[in-house]
Amino acid sequence: MFDFSTLTQSIHDYLISHLSPFWTTTVEWVIIGVLLIAFVALSVMGLVYIERKVAAFFQLRLGPNRVGKWGLLQTLADFLKLLMKEHITSKNADKFLFNLAPFIIVTASFLAIGAIPFALGLHVMDINIGVFYITAASSIGVLGILIGGWAGNNKYSLIGALRSGAQVVSYEISAVLSILTIVVLAGDLQLSSIIESQRDGWWIFKGHIPVFIAFIMFLIAGTAETNRGPFDLAEAESELTAGFHTEYSGIKFAMFFLAEYVNLFIIAAVGATVFLGGWMPFHIGDWAWFNDKMDYIPSILWFFLKVGFVIGLIMWFKWTFPRLRIDQLLVLEWKYLLPINLVNLLVVAFIAMMGWYF
């Protein structure tokens, strides 16, 4: 496998030989920031295009096909349109908080994505509490939704924001509990250690049925956390116009839109990392001949294939199931998902204690 740490170390050695330690660190963080912004921009445009095509497939139509070949430039055209739209703020809105909200939700997404391991040696922050950090950083985003919904002085926005707050807080419990099943088995919160623990097999395969149940629970809770269908009650068009971002226009609206797809990528990346081995190739125990062949596939390709698989499942959910009512959504979490996750976590803890996993 290609180790990106050799590339990053060579860049660091070059900079340190020409600059002081302070400026070396500064330049490195600028490079990382620019790369993350470029990656987020390109990935969001790609995800929007892919989702439009997926929606068209499920609804037996073509999807975007006019701007550029196969409609590839449609998302770019929409972004340019939003960029040129007028910024409108309602008369009685809290202007400071109204303008601050989109930045909070985007900042939370960027904080979380910085801890995700993209490949072997390609990791911005490999901290020893990586799972806890991503959970905490991604939780900040709901503050942007609540502030934006309240500051716009619109009853539909406020209702959407309150729905989102109740939804995210509720389903985050199940998302964390499902991840904790892997933390118990791996014995570590560090994402690189969790990936390393899957060298002889991904947890989805060697963790027995409880890990598969945890993966399903994570997909459901992750879909709800990102306010995507069938849990998109915070922005239910048939009831609340556009929900918490009804009053937003132009680039501010685009920032909410961007954050939704960044969060989709984060949920998929976390799921792929803890359940499907992250960038780790598909290995089977001591089958050296098979494992060596799998190692020829670049680690970054493994990661994006797994992330793409999880994103595909989440998109499948959205365009298959009808939207739930708010009472149904909360009943699903508190009466079904949470008890199942608690019992499942106890079972996994017992399995880990007895050493019954592969």
* Predicted pLDDT of residue 85: 84
Q: What are phi and psi of 92, to 5 degrees?
A: -100, 15
How far is residue 114 CA from its own chain's centroid?
11
Mean pLDDT of 129-149: 89
| List of residues 6+ apart from 43 with CB closer than 8 A | 261, 262, 265
Mean pLDDT of 330-334: 91
What's the confidence (pLDDT) of residue 235?
Answer: 66
CB 247 within 8 A of CB 157: yes
If phi > 0 it is left, if psi is from -120 to 50 it is alpha, else beta; for residue 43 that is alpha
Residue 156 has pLDDT above 70, yes or no: yes
Check residue 326 and give its pLDDT: 81
Structure tokens at 307: 């992330």
For 228-243, what is each residue's pLDDT tens digit?
A: 878 877 666 666 566 7
Q: What is the DSSP string of 74-121?
A: HHHHHHHHHHHSPP---TTS-HHHHHHHHHHHHHHHHHHHTT---BTT
Structure tokens at 83: 């960029």
- Predicted confidence at residue 239, as pLDDT, reads 60
pLDDT at 57: 92
Look at residue 234 in the predicted model and tell me its pLDDT.
Answer: 67
Whether 308 shows a pLDDT value over 70: the answer reads yes
Biggest alpha carbon distance in the chain?
69
What is the pLDDT confidence band of residue 149, given thresholds at 50, 70 and 90?
confident
Note the pLDDT of residue 241.
64
Mean pLDDT within 75-99: 86
pLDDT at position 134: 93
Length of the chain in terms of residues written: 358
More confident residue, 208 or 345: 345
Q: How far apart are alpha carbons 79 and 47 in whole angstroms?
A: 13
Token couple for 80: 């340019």
Find the range with the poorest average confidence among 212-221, 301-310, 323-332: 323-332
Q: What is the pLDDT of residue 338?
A: 94
Predicted confidence band of residue 218 (pLDDT cuts 50, 70, 90): very high
Q: What is the mean pLDDT of the chain?
A: 88
pLDDT value for 193: 92
So what's the pLDDT on residue 294? Answer: 87
Q: What value does the mean pLDDT take over residues 85-109? A: 87
Three-state DSSP at 357 gives: coil
Of residues 216 and 283, more confidence is placed in 216
Arithmetic mean of pLDDT, 292-308: 91
> What pTM was computed for the model?
0.92
Confidence (pLDDT) at 26: 93
| CB proximity list for 224: less than 8 A, separation 6 or greater | 167, 168, 170, 171, 231, 329, 333
In a 3-state reduction of DSSP, which class is residue 122? strand
The C-alpha atoms of residue 301 and residue 202 are separated, in whole angstroms, by 16
Domain ranges of the chain: 94-354
Backbone dihedral region for residue 135 (phi beyond 0: left; psi -120 to 50: alpha; all else: beta) = alpha
Which pLDDT tens digit goes with each residue over 169-206?
A: 889 999 999 999 999 999 889 999 999 998 888 999 88
* C-alpha dist (Å) from residue 164 to 117, 216, 334: 29, 22, 16
Of residues 310, 130, 284, 115, the one with CA closest to residue 199: 284
